[in-house]
């Protein structure tokens, strides 16, 4: 675990901003406000986006380095501190190679009513299985991913787990699953490759 950011650090400020945007994504889906209130909130949101949008990184965030040369994937769709689409996943690496994350998935991750979208399970499994193969500064890319859905995954607290089955040359074979209080809901296996 890295040490928590200081409260007034850029990291803490961006995390706080992005958490506010995550809450906004959620209430945009669930609001029962009047149409006048919706129109007023839209104008407020546009004003905030105008403020933030005056000076933009061209294209996308990519992977930037902090002052100590550590890579920051703050824009990443699954783990990005500054990406409101990302839950974000906080990935834990155990000394035995096991990788896991606990996450709570709300209304924004819905597919079938009350349940996580099957594709969101695939998204998170791709990331957590890939994390078993990840080496600092040497990310692995997905070769193949096979996902088997055994039960619906209810919205709410979800655990993701993965471990390496075997390594053959540049290929890491990983397996993992999604589980909830209902038990294991989705299983996956994947091949992850370190580009030459």
Q: Which stretch binds a copy of itself (CB under 8 A): 19-27, 95-103, 159-167, 169-177?
A: 19-27
Q: Which is nearer to a copy of itself, 52 or 92 (CB)?
A: 52
23 binds a copy of itself (CB under 8 A): yes
Q: Which is nearer to a copy of itself, 69 or 95 (CB)?
A: 69
> In this chain, which stretch among 14-22, 93-101, 163-171, 175-183 interacts with a copy of itself, using CB under 8 A?
14-22
147 Cβ neighbours under 8 A, 6+ residues apart? 118, 121, 122, 125, 186, 187, 188
Neighbours of 145 (CB within 10 A): 16
Q: Which of residues 112-141 bind a copy of itself (CB under 8 A)?
A: 112-114, 117-120, 122-127, 130, 139, 141
Nearer to a copy of itself, 148 or 166 (CB): 148
Q: Measured at the alpha carbon of residue 109, what is the angle toward residues 130 and 135, in degrees to the nearest 5?
A: 15
Q: What are phi and psi of 98, to 5 degrees?
A: -70, 145
Subset of 54-113 contacting a copy of itself (CB under 8 A): 54-57, 59-63, 74-78, 80, 82-85, 106-113
Nearer to a copy of itself, 152 or 158 (CB): 152
**Do the Cβ atoms of 86 and 80 come closer than 8 Å?**
yes
Q: Which stretch binds a copy of itself (CB under 8 A): 53-61, 91-99, 161-169, 170-178?
A: 53-61
Nearer to a copy of itself, 98 or 106 (CB): 106
Token pair recorded at residue 112: 């079938």
- Least distance (Å) between residue 102 CB and a copy of itself: 18
Instruction: Convert 1-18 to b/e letters by CB count within 10 Å (16 or more is b).
Output: eeeeeeeeeebeeebeeb
CB 155 within 8 A of CB 131: no
């Amino acid at each position: 675990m890295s040490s928590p950011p200081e409260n007034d650090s850029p990291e803490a400020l961006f995390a706080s901003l992005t958490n506010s945007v995550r809450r906004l994504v959620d209430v945009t889906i669930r609001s029962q406000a009047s149409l006048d209130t919706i129109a007023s909130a839209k104008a407020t949101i546009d004003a905030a986006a105008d403020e933030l949008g005056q000076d933009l990184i061209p294209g996308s965030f990519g992977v930037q380095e902090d002052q100590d040369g550590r890579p920051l994937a703050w824009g990443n769709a699954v783990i990005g501190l500054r990406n409101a689409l990302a839950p974000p996943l906080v990935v834990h690496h155990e000394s035995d190679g096991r990788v896991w994350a606990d996450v709570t998935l709300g209304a924004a991750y819905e597919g079938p009513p009350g349940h996580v979208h099957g594709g969101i399970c695939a998204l998170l499994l791709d990331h957590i299985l890939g994390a078993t193969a990840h080496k600092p500064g040497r990310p692995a890319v997905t070769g193949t991913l096979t996902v088997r859905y055994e039960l619906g995954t209810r919205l709410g607290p979800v655990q993701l787990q993965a471990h390496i089955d075997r390594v053959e040359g540049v290929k890491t074979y990983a397996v993992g699953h999604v589980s909830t209080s209902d038990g294991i809901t989705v299983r996956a296996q994947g091949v992850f490759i370190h580009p030459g």
